[in-house]
A and B are shown apart, each in its own frame.
Chain A
């Protein structure tokens, strides 16, 4: 039967996406305010020369590409997980208010100058805590009370976003000029991150997130049949849901705390991946991860070249693209 065909198809697809990802990465290394030909980049790996171009490649562009890979992938699978759990394609970290919660956490961190006290890692921790609080709130407001109606979940999500962005504004209003600059700078969303430790941690958490959610992919598939049916298939739905909530809040909190508000990736990328591979989470998770990475690297490349030498916040690009694709997506036929 089609078992081998299916696996071959999946592996081919993953390979193709991987190649596209590599090409995107190399393309992104080459273009920018100053174009560097590929030949020269390759020569850097062999010759031990130093120079401005070398520093542009390895200190500016490469970290952004790596971060784009990690964050793009993380946001996409956070979207896939939440959509799978709620069996609704409109759910994602933003529409549920999880990103808003993470943003509030980070803003509190900036205004209380926690980075100075506890080091650079306090940011992701605060982001994850903020996201986690919102998830717990959603869990108790909706799911525990048995309200699983999707419009109620979305409405509470929108309200949570609203409340947390109001709190963010409150913090901005009472904070000093320096903090204000820090918050605005961070919130506009950028893949620029000078700290290699944070980049490494992002990649690590993002890949672990992918592996962890992949190990639950079968349960996620079963959940798409409805909770009762999943339970009848021997899935421990309570535990699975809690784990999935935990994974998605960690991924979202991490992304928001490091790169600011980069919107719509968790919505658009999974949606188009579904069109490409269907709803089987075993392939959808990997596919979305790779597509998200490609999409964010491309958006970032665009953000720093479009009005070079100035730079647009990458959130603007993903927002414009994502927003218009979102409208297209909801007016088109549903696929989940």
Chain B
């Protein structure tokens, strides 16, 4: 579905990403992780056609994304960014904007079909109850749900999310990640998301891409990526990795400065 070949990209003369090679299949749920400044957002910008690569190419269903029309791409790929400056429009108006790529030339009013699809998207994300509220009246978690609803109204086959859970409480973190999981499993939507929280990434993604200093450090299942030695190497901090007793996925414990010495025994003994 998505294939990146030898991509190098960045801003002006600074190359932030070097030689990225990566292939994604239909229906996968992929998390991009990495320290601050490792190039996660640049990677996302390159894949969503905001930033042209300096070298290499990005293929979507075998076609270079820079050769696909804006509008045609928007019918296939939807992106949930961290936020938008929109404040004083209602949730319903906002979600309906997701139908814009499907408008004909000189079509100004949504068709019945557009409205049904937007309605369905609002049901899926459970935001129907806010439909007449304006965005500034919502909490951060509710806003995030509305953004996802708007993306779903585009009826994409591939969904990108840029840190969908940042600044959210644990209720909303779980709610949003569960929703993404459900969309992936039940609707077959392929998902790529940038995640900050290693534990959410391990819990919810099938595959993780760990970026470090602009290159792909490790690419594989959570069990392969989230190991003590890799995390310590990339993040330069001591951690303890254990298994989540319920999901059996790796869980990363942070170690405070106080516990550094004792932590050594844990990790070596593991």
Residues of B near A229 (CB, < 8 A) are: 79, 81, 84
Closest to B74 in A: A234
Q: Are A280 and B108 touching (Cβ within 8 A)?
A: no
Residues of B near A274 (CB, < 8 A) are: 88
Q: How far, in angstroms, from A214 to B107 measured CA to CA in the complex?
A: 11
Closest to B93 in A: A280
| Per-residue interface assignment for chain B, residues 101 to 131, with 1 indicating a CB less than 8 Å from any chain A CB and 0 otherwise | 1010010111010011001000000000000
Q: How far, in angstroms, from A225 to B96 measured CA to CA in the complex?
A: 12
Residues of B near A2 (CB, < 8 A) are: 92
A24 on the B face (CB < 8 A): no
Q: How far, in angstroms, from A312 to B48 measured CA to CA in the complex?
A: 56
Q: Are A279 and B89 touching (Cβ within 8 A)?
A: yes
Q: How far, in angstroms, from A217 to B103 measured CA to CA in the complex?
A: 12
Q: How far, in angstroms, from A236 to B77 measured CA to CA in the complex?
A: 15
Contacting residues of chain A (35-94) with chain B, CB-CB under 8 angstroms: 87
Residues of B near A336 (CB, < 8 A) are: 87-88
| Per-residue interface assignment for chain B, residues 45 to 80, with 1 indicating a CB less than 8 Å from any chain A CB and 0 otherwise | 000111000000000000000000111111101110
Q: Are B97 and A233 touching (Cβ within 8 A)?
A: yes
Q: Are B106 and A215 touching (Cβ within 8 A)?
A: yes
Residues of B near A87 (CB, < 8 A) are: 85-86
Q: How far, in angstroms, from A271 to B252 measured CA to CA in the complex?
A: 52
Partner of B70, one of A3, A214, A224, A236: A236
A7 on the B face (CB < 8 A): yes
Partner of B89, one of A3, A7, A236, A280: A280
Residues of B near A228 (CB, < 8 A) are: 50, 79, 81
Q: How far, in angstroms, from A233 to B103 measured CA to CA in the complex?
A: 11
Closest to B98 in A: A233
Closest to A215 in B: B106
| Per-residue interface assignment for chain B, residues 127 to 150, with 1 indicating a CB less than 8 Å from any chain A CB and 0 otherwise | 000000000000000000000000
B24 on the A face (CB < 8 A): no
Interface residue tally for chain B (C-beta within 8 Å): 38
Q: How far, in angstroms, from A232 to B75 measured CA to CA in the complex?
A: 10
Residue with the highest number of chain A CB atoms closer than 10 Å, among B72, B75, B97: B97
Partner of B101, one of A1, A7, A233: A233
Distance of A94 from chain B, by nearest CB (Å): 23
Q: Interface size class for chain A?
A: 20 to 34
Residues of A near B75 (CB, < 8 A) are: 234
Residue with the highest number of chain B CB atoms closer than 10 Å, among A229, A233, A278: A233
Are A234 and B100 also in contact (CB < 8 A) when A218-B108, A229-B81, A229-B84 are? yes
Closest to B108 in A: A282
Contacting residues of chain A (214-249) with chain B, CB-CB under 8 angstroms: 214-215, 217-218, 221-222, 224-226, 228-229, 231-236
Q: Are B74 and A232 touching (Cβ within 8 A)?
A: yes
Q: Are B108 and A232 touching (Cβ within 8 A)?
A: no
B155 on the A face (CB < 8 A): no
Q: How far, in angstroms, from A7 to B112 measured CA to CA in the complex?
A: 13
Distance of B194 from chain A, by nearest CB (Å): 14
Q: How far, in angstroms, from A215 to B104 measured CA to CA in the complex?
A: 12
Residues of B near A113 (CB, < 8 A) are: none
Q: How far, in angstroms, from A236 to B68 measured CA to CA in the complex?
A: 13
Contacting residues of chain B (195-248) with chain A, CB-CB under 8 angstroms: none
Residues of A near B81 (CB, < 8 A) are: 226, 228-229, 232
Q: Are B84 and A335 touching (Cβ within 8 A)?
A: no
Distance of A150 from chain B, by nearest CB (Å): 10
| Per-residue interface assignment for chain A, residues 305 to 336, with 1 indicating a CB less than 8 Å from any chain B CB and 0 otherwise | 00000000000000000000000000000111
Q: Are A221 and B97 touching (Cβ within 8 A)?
A: yes
Residues of A near B109 (CB, < 8 A) are: 3, 7, 282
Distance of A86 from chain B, by nearest CB (Å): 10
Contacting residues of chain A (95-115) with chain B, CB-CB under 8 angstroms: none
Q: How far, in angstroms, from A308 to B49 measured CA to CA in the complex?
A: 62
Q: How far, in angstroms, from A334 to B106 measured CA to CA in the complex?
A: 31
B154 on the A face (CB < 8 A): yes
User: What are 18 pairs between A and B in contact, CB < 8 Å?
Assistant: A214-B108, A217-B108, A218-B100, A222-B97, A224-B89, A225-B94, A226-B81, A229-B79, A231-B50, A231-B70, A232-B48, A234-B69, A234-B70, A235-B70, A279-B88, A280-B89, A282-B108, A334-B88
Closest 9 CB pairs of A and B: A234-B74, A234-B71, A234-B101, A232-B79, A225-B84, A234-B70, A233-B100, A226-B84, A87-B85
CB within 8 Å of B: which residues of A?
A: 1-3, 7, 87, 214-215, 217-218, 221-222, 224-226, 228-229, 231-236, 274, 278-280, 282, 334-336
**Known contacts A282-B108, A336-B87; can you find 16 more A-B pairs with CB under 8 A?**
A1-B115, A3-B109, A3-B110, A7-B109, A87-B85, A215-B106, A218-B108, A225-B84, A229-B79, A231-B70, A232-B74, A233-B98, A233-B101, A234-B75, A278-B93, A280-B89
